[in-house]
Amino acid sequence: MRKKLVVIGAGMASGRVLEHVLAQDPDGWDITLFNAEPRGNYNRIMLSPVLSGEKTYDEIVTHDDDFYRQHDITCRFGESVVRIDRANKVVLSNDGGAPYDKLLIATGSAPFIIPVPGHDLPGVITYRDMDDTQAMIDASHRPGGTAVVIGGGLLGLEAAAGLTARGMAVTVIHLMGHLMERQLDPAAGYLLQKDLGARGLTVHCKGATKAILGKDRAEAVLLEDGTVYPADLVCMAVGIRPETRIATDAALEIGRGITVDDHMVTSDPDILAVGECVEHDGQLFGLVAPLYDQARVVAATLLGQDAAFRPVQTATKLKVTGVDLFSAGDFADGEGREDIVFRDPARGVYKRLVIEGDRLIGAVMYGDTADGSWFFGLIKDGTDIAAMRDTLIFGPAWQGGTGADPLAAVAALPPEAEICGCNGICKGTITAAIEGGAASLADIRAQTKASASCGTCTGLVEQVLASTLGDAFQMPAAQPVCACTDLTHEDVRRLIKARALKSMAALMQELGWKTSCGCHHCRPALNFYLLADWPLDYTDDAQSRFVNERNHANIQKDGTYSVVPRMWGGMTNPAELRAIADAADKYAIPAVKVTGGQRIDLLGVRKADLPHIWADLNKAGLVSGHAYSKGLRTVKTCVGTDFCRFGTQDSTGLGIKLEKRLWGSWTPHKVKLAVSGCPRNCAESTCKDIGIICVDSGYEVGVGGAAGMDLKETQRLAKVTTEAEAIDLTVAFVQLYREHAKYLDRPYKWLAKVGLDWVQAQIVEDPDNRAALIARFDLSQSVYQRDPWADRATPQAQADFAPLADFTREAAE
C-alpha cells in the first residue's frame, strides 16, 4: 500500500524534495502536487535572465510534464488550496479534496506591497513568479516605455536590469543610503550605482515612496521629497514575507513563518514544511542554498531517516549580466575587526576583506569576483589566515607560488571546497562525477546539480573539468583569456581597437594584466591580435610566439624540426626536387614524406642546421611553406582544364594565384585552402577552411570546412562568375577572420559563433566593406609577406640558431 504524499506549492524547494524522495524510494509514495500557478516546477532564480531576454521559460523549467508523468505524480496546477482538514487528513481545494498520510507545505513567500495610495492600480506589479515576469515583458513592448522599480535590493536590481535590457527607461527608488545595503558596503554600493548609471539606469537612494499616481492605471510615482518619476509600470520589490495563510488557518504553530523543528516537521507531526514559508530557530530563509539543504532533510524525514537542518552561511551574487559582485559573511565595521581593502579605480574593482582575530569573517567584492568562492570557503571553515594575511586579498593564486597556471588555483582547492553555493556541491563531488565518466558541463549539471541553479559557478565548474580532464575538455568561449586577466578574448580584441593599444606593454598596462609579462596562453594571442590590427605600428614579438613560429619549423617530439618548402598550388619541377634531394643528402635527413597538402616534408633536422638547409633550398627558388604557422598553409589543387578531361576551369592556376596572394599572412589559427576543377572535387575542397569548386558557370566559394578533430563540410559563401571575384571573396574572408576571430579558433568555430549570414552581409552583400577588407589585408601583407628563410640566411641568424657555448670539446681534451 503506497503512502499518500500531498505537496502544496511547486517551487524550487519542493521540486528538490520530490527528486530526493523519488530517487531513494521510487515506488513508495502516491504523490499529489498542488500549485496555484498554472505550471510546474521551474527555476525561480532564473527569472531575471528570462526578463532580460537571455533565457526563455522553457530553458528554466526544472521538471516538465514528462517528469510528472514518468513518476506518476498527480498534478493539480492552477488550483489554489483553500483549507487543510487536519482531523481527517485531507487537503481541500475548490475542485475537491486530496487525502494525505504526509503533507508538505511549500507555499513560499509573498511580496510586500507598500500600502501607499495607488498601490492597487493596474500597472503596479510585484516580481515573484512567471506571471509577474510575463507582465513586465508585455509592458516593455511599448516603445519609449518608462518603469519605476521600488526597492534597490537583489530582486529589485535584477528586475530593473531586465527591464532596461528590454528597452524601458528605468528608475530605481531605494529607501536606504546605498544599493543592496544588506549585501554591500557603501563603497561597493557606490560602484554598483555608477555601473548601473552607465547602463542608463537612474538610481534614487534615500527615496521614500509617497504615492503611485494615475487615473485608470499607474502613470507616475511620487516621492516624499516631491520628486515625480513617470512610470507606465511600477514594480514593487521591497521584500518578501513567508506565505503562511493556509498554515495559520489550520492552527499550526506560526512565528514569522511556519515553525519547523530540525527535521522540518511543523507542530503537526504529519505535516512538514520547506522553503521560504518556514521559520527555523527564529530565522527565515530566502536564498536557494539553505532551501536545498532543507529539501534534503524533508526527504530524509519522510523516508524515516535521521537528518537535521543546520543553517550555514550563504554568499550572494547579483545576476545582472556584466555586473560582477559578491558578498559573504559579516562585513560591518566593529571593534577588533580589521579591513584589507584593494581598489583599482580604472577597472572599477573594489575588494574588501573583514578580519577578526586571525579569521576571515566577511568579504565584499565588486568588479572582480573570481576569488569569491575561495574567500567564502575561508569564512565558512574559519581557516586561520595569519600566514597568508599579507597576500590574502590577491586570492588563492598568490598563495604558495606563482599564478602561472590559470587552473592552478582551482586545481589547488581541496576536495571539500564548495564550488556550487546554491546546491552545496563541493569540488570532490564534481571530481568524483568526472572520474565516473562525466565529461561536460551538461553531465556535471545532470549528475551533481552543480551550476544547475543560478549558474554563476559555471566558470568554476568548467575549471574543475579542465583541471581534471586536461586537454580532453574544451573550455567554452566566454572564459577569460587566462589567469592573467578577467577579460575574454572578445573583450581584448574590442579594447585593442577601441583604445588603440599598439604594444604589448600598453595593452597589459591599460587592461590591468595581473602578471608582469603575461604567460604562454595570452602572449601568443595578444601578439597576433596586435599585429593583425596594427600591422604598421606593432612590432612582431618572436618571444611571444610558440616555438614553431619562432623557429619557422615544426618541433618534433625529439626536439628536431621538420622543413617543408612551399610548392605553389602543389606544382613542382625537377630542379626543385633535385634541390630537395640534395639537401636531404647533405644534412642526413632521416625521413622524407609527402604531406596531405601536396608538398614534401623533410623530417628530423637539427636546429643548428635549419638556417643552412633553408639557404640551400632558397638558392633553388624554394621558400618556406609555413607548415608550422597559424597562417596560410597550403592551397591544394587538382590539375583542372590543363590536363583533366572533366576540368571546367584552370583550378591549378587559381590555386597558385591564391597562394601567391595569401602566403605569409598570420591568422588566428591555420588556414588551408583547396581549389577543385569540377564537382568531382579531387582537391577535397569541401573540407577546407576555404574551398573553391569550379563549375562551368563559375566558382562556388565555400567556407568553414574542417577535417581535424571535427569533420565539417564547407558552407556556401557565394557563387561567382569570374576568377577575380573568387579571389576577392577569399581574401576578404581571410581578413574578416583575422580581424574578428578568437586566437586558436579555426574558421569553422568562428563561423559557428558569428553565423554565415553575418559573414555574407559583410563581404558578399557589401562591396565597399569587401574592398576595405581587401585593402587592409594587402596593407598587412606589405609588412608580413616575407620569406622567413631568406631573412635568416645571415651569419648572425645562423649563429642565433647554434648553441651559445660548447663545453663538450673542453671536457674531452
Partner 1 sequence: MTWLDIGALDDIPQRGARVVKTVQGCVAVFRTGDDRVFAMDDRCPHRGGPLSEGIVHGHAVTCPLHNWVFSLETGMAQGADEGAVATYPARVEGGRILIDAARLIRGRAA
Give me the residues that bind partner 1 (CB under 8 A), please: 401-402, 404-405, 407-408, 411-412, 467, 515-520, 523-524, 542-547, 550-551, 555, 557-559, 800, 803-808, 810-812
**Which residue, 312 or 517, is less far from partner 1 as judged by CB?**
517
The sheet carrying 228-230 orders its strands as: 209-213, 220-223, 228-230
Min dist CB 785 to partner 1, Å, is 24
- Residue 511 to residues 494, 496, 498: CA-CA distances in angstroms? 12, 9, 12
Residue 96 backbone dihedrals phi, psi, to 5 degrees: 135, -175
**Which residue, 131 or 800, is less far from partner 1 as judged by CB?**
800
3-state secondary structure of 691: strand
> Residue 350: enclosing H or E segment and its boundaries?
strand 349-356
Compute the distance between CA of residue 696 and CA of residue 580 in angstroms, rounded to an integer: 38
Q: How many CB atoms lie within 10 A of CB 53?
A: 13
Q: How many CB atoms lie within 10 A of CB 61?
A: 17
**Which residue, 300 or 525, is less far from partner 1 as judged by CB?**
525
Compute the distance between CA of residue 208 and CA of residue 422 in angstroms, rounded to an integer: 33
**Which residue, 198 or 608, is less far from partner 1 as judged by CB?**
608
Which three cell numbers, joined as nine digits, stand for 5? 504524499
Min dist CB 746 to partner 1, Å, is 20
Min dist CB 520 to partner 1, Å, is 4
Min dist CB 608 to partner 1, Å, is 10
| DSSP bridge pairs for 520 | none
Q: Is 65 exposed, middle or buried (0-12, 13-18, 19+ CB in 10 A)?
A: exposed
**Which residue, 311 or 590, is less far from partner 1 as judged by CB?**
590
Min dist CB 510 to partner 1, Å, is 18
Instruction: Give residue 770's identity as a one-letter amino acid code.
Output: R
**Which residue, 134 or 402, is less far from partner 1 as judged by CB?**
402
Compute the distance between CA of residue 505 and CA of residue 495 in angstroms, rounded to an integer: 14
Min dist CB 626 to partner 1, Å, is 18
**Which residue, 536 or 804, is less far from partner 1 as judged by CB?**
804
> How wide is the angle at C-alpha 44 spanned by C-alphas 447 and 170, nearest 5°?
135
- Residue 256 to residues 107, 332, 437: CA-CA distances in angstroms? 14, 26, 46
Q: Which of 626, 627, 649, 652 is nearest to 639 (CA)?
A: 652
Which three cell numbers, joined as nine digits, stand for 475? 573550455
> How wide is the angle at C-alpha 309 spanned by C-alphas 307 and 311, nearest 5°?
150
Q: Which of 568, 592, 571 is nearest to 580 (CA)?
A: 592
Which three cell numbers, joined as nine digits, stand for 82? 483553500
**Which residue, 62 or 544, is less far from partner 1 as judged by CB?**
544
Q: Which of 672, 691, 571 is nearest to 627 (CA)?
A: 672
- Residue 462 to residues 213, 394, 402, 455, 476: CA-CA distances in angstroms? 49, 22, 21, 11, 8
> How wide is the angle at C-alpha 622 spanned by C-alphas 617 and 624, nearest 5°?
95
Hey, CA dihedral for 390, 396, 399, 401, is it positive or negative? negative
**Which residue, 48 or 554, is less far from partner 1 as judged by CB?**
554
Which three cell numbers, joined as nine digits, stand for 638? 587538382
Min dist CB 539 to partner 1, Å, is 13
Q: Is 141 exposed, middle or buried (0-12, 13-18, 19+ CB in 10 A)?
A: exposed
**Which residue, 401 or 590, is less far from partner 1 as judged by CB?**
401
Q: Which DSSP symbol is given to 556?
A: P
**Which residue, 498 or 804, is less far from partner 1 as judged by CB?**
804
Min dist CB 527 to partner 1, Å, is 10
**Which residue, 413 or 706, is less far from partner 1 as judged by CB?**
413
Compute the distance between CA of residue 717 and CA of residue 740 in angstroms, rounded to an integer: 17
> Residue 211: enclosing H or E segment and its boundaries?
strand 209-213
Min dist CB 374 to partner 1, Å, is 16
| DSSP bridge pairs for 77 | 35
Instruction: Give residue 317's identity as a one-letter amino acid code.
Output: K
CB 271 within 8 Å of CB 8: no
CB 643 within 8 Å of CB 681: no
3-state secondary structure of 363: strand
CB 689 within 8 Å of CB 668: no
Min dist CB 467 to partner 1, Å, is 7
**Which residue, 514 or 599, is less far from partner 1 as judged by CB?**
514
Compute the distance between CA of residue 510 and CA of residue 496 in angstroms, rounded to an integer: 10
Min dist CB 522 to partner 1, Å, is 9
Min dist CB 561 to partner 1, Å, is 10
**Which residue, 702 or 788, is less far from partner 1 as judged by CB?**
788
Compute the distance between CA of residue 483 and CA of residue 395 in angstroms, rounded to an integer: 12
- Residue 527 to residues 524, 536, 711: CA-CA distances in angstroms? 5, 14, 29
Min dist CB 515 to partner 1, Å, is 6
Min dist CB 808 to partner 1, Å, is 5
**Which residue, 48 or 467, is less far from partner 1 as judged by CB?**
467
**Which residue, 305 or 556, is less far from partner 1 as judged by CB?**
556
**Which residue, 177 or 414, is less far from partner 1 as judged by CB?**
414
Compute the distance between CA of residue 561 and CA of residue 624 in angstroms, rounded to an integer: 13
**Which residue, 81 or 419, is less far from partner 1 as judged by CB?**
419
Min dist CB 801 to partner 1, Å, is 10
Min dist CB 628 to partner 1, Å, is 12
Min dist CB 464 to partner 1, Å, is 12
Min dist CB 484 to partner 1, Å, is 9
Distance of CA 627 to the CA centre of its chain: 33
